[in-house]
Amino acid sequence: MLKFNREIVTGMRDILPHDTALWNWFEAISRRIMERYGYREIRTPIAERASLFERSLGEETDVALKEIYSWIDQQQLNRALFKVRDVAYETNSKISKHESPPRERLLQLMDSGEFDDIAERIRICLRPEATASVVRAYIDHGMYLNPGLTKLYYVGPMFRRERPQKGRYRQFYQIGAEVLGQSDAPAIDAELIEMLVVLLGECKIEKWTLLLNSIGCKECRPKYVAALRRELAAVKETVCGDCQRRIETNPLRVLDCKVPQDQPIIAKLPSISEHLCAACRAHFAELEAQLKLREIPYTITPRLVRGLDYYMRTTFEITSPVLGAQNALVGGGRYDGLAELLGGQPTKGIGFALGTDRFIEAIREAGKVDAALRVDVFIAWLGGPASAQVYPTAVRIARKLRAAGLCVELPPEEMKLKKSLGLADKLGARYALILGENEIAAGKFVLKRLSDAQQRELSEGELAGFLRAGTGKANH
């Protein structure tokens, strides 16, 4: 008999009730702010075709190479093999119509490149990020026909098979937003950043820095990349192994290197700001003007880049010292070529993604948000079997108070008053409502505030209003 192993899967974790209160608060405030700015929620599948991310992330990136959880969809594979067999018959590719080709031969044909369009359908993956999924949905559902800009946000889990460490999990959570349409006006970029600044304010995170850069466009960035590659070729043997590989595949990603001994070399590399074309310089200048209009401070950071070809112009990051060395809270940028890469119409786009774990850690470190869920009122009912009225009355009052938006704890069994009040205190209840035969007969119930033991008598009709005011829920 197999022994049941209760250990959680490596890189995953449980988020327990004492944490989910803050998670729910943060997700709710994020949704509220984004919806004020005209964003609407989109929910895309957790599983997508792996080819979607190979295209959007680039096959040479660490995510595409090492971190995607992918598998073969067996049902799709069987269908694909029948399709390959039929196509092979039609094209006379060394397959006789009178034989049933072995599975191994069909798989070889699929690997030959002749059937790439079929083969890419069979590999499925857990999404490592959401931007590609959102843009895929934007194309699939014809949202490019929407009037004006399409503004979407998402909340949910992502998956990457990377080495687990503190604050980094294989199932992690992101909140993000995307703006898609035909305009790349700098005001769009500035308003997106403004929305994040508002979120920081709601979360009481006062210490933060907005890092800003322009990475040019398809006209001017290739010239910069060529200049960067020439400079890097001269120092190739002195940088880390990852950077040596990136020099050949994607030189811009060398600027992202965090290896300490590479930093003096990176500091001497040419800056992309020196290679911007006139249109990109004008776009960046207008973005600066828009941020100043909104009174948002920023720091221009020439080394802040995005390595993929479809990213262009605006790129930004918000950091906070409360997080220590791993200080990035949110990152984003403009990606005007992604929709075309995924087979859609030419579309302008900009977005951001924030790691929920890090943001919540920053909220905790700031220490100014109290999102803990508390019991508003504990009903201490005292009746026993001889009383037919007490428990039904307690049930009726509990339902009324819950309908009024209050958190009510109603014990399923009668307890002594001292034990009831002790449990109410342990649960952190604000009030205890004492309810027995005498209170029902008088039409008045004793409400005790547990923080200072003050108590008063209230009628059933007065309870909800008084408790809503006393718990601060009257204005919710």
> pLDDT truncated to tens, each residue of the chain (476 aa)?
556 667 888 888 888 988 999 999 999 999 999 999 999 999 999 999 888 887 777 655 555 557 888 877 766 666 666 666 666 555 555 555 555 555 565 566 556 555 555 666 678 889 999 999 999 999 999 999 989 999 999 999 999 887 777 667 889 999 999 999 999 999 999 999 999 999 999 999 989 999 999 988 888 888 888 888 887 877 777 778 777 777 777 777 777 777 777 777 777 787 888 889 999 999 999 999 999 999 999 999 888 887 666 788 999 999 998 877 678 899 999 998 899 888 898 999 999 999 999 899 999 988 888 888 888 999 999 876 556 788 889 999 999 999 988 999 999 888 888 999 999 999 999 999 998 888 888 888 899 999 888 888 888 888 888 888 877 776 65
Element (H, E) at 332: strand 328-334
- DSSP letter at 64 equals I
Query: Is 379:398 a contact under the CB 8 Å cutoff?
Result: yes
Look-up: residue for tokens 């010239």?
223
Question: Are 135 and 161 within one domain?
Answer: yes
Residue 265 lies in a domain: no
Question: Are 327 and 356 within one domain?
Answer: yes
Residue 58 lies in a domain: no
Q: Which of 52, 123, 122, 124 is nearest to 84 (CA)?
A: 122
Question: Are 304 and 399 within one domain?
Answer: no
- The conformational region for residue 274 under phi > 0 = left, psi -120 to 50 = alpha, else beta, is alpha
Q: What is the largest CA-CA distance in the chain?
A: 96
Residue 190 lies in a domain: yes
Question: Are 204 and 311 within one domain?
Answer: yes
Residue 475 lies in a domain: no
Domain termination residue (choose one: 84, 119, 154): 119
**Number of domain units in the chain:** 3
Question: Are 142 and 209 within one domain?
Answer: yes
Question: Are 289 and 174 within one domain?
Answer: yes
CATH number at residue 216: 3.30.930.10
CATH number at residue 462: 3.40.50.800
Question: Are 202 and 101 within one domain?
Answer: no
Residue 305 lies in a domain: yes
Residue 91 lies in a domain: yes
Give the three-class secondary structure for 329: strand
Question: Are 195 and 332 within one domain?
Answer: yes
Q: Would you give the distance in Å from CA 121 to the centre of its chain?
A: 27
Give the three-class secondary structure for 268: coil
Domain termination residue (choose one: 310, 338, 366): 366
Q: What φ, ψ does residue 160 adopt, rounded to 5°?
A: -140, 135
Pairing of strands 348-355, 171-181: antiparallel
Give the three-class secondary structure for 62: helix
Distances (CA, A) of 398 to 166, 356, 411: 43, 35, 11
Question: Domain containing 282: what range?
Answer: 17-48+128-220+276-366
* The two structure tokens encoding residue 97: 């119509």
Question: Are 208 and 288 within one domain?
Answer: yes
Question: Are 139 and 286 within one domain?
Answer: yes
Q: Which of 27, 55, 15 is nearest to 341 (CA)?
A: 55
Pairing of strands 150-159, 328-334: unpaired
Domain termination residue (choose one: 366, 390, 411): 366
Residue 79 lies in a domain: yes
CA dihedral 70, 72, 75, 81 (to 10 degrees): 140
Question: Are 465 and 388 within one domain?
Answer: yes
Cα separation, 32 vs 37, in Å, equals 9
Question: Are 448 and 332 within one domain?
Answer: no
Residue 446 lies in a domain: yes
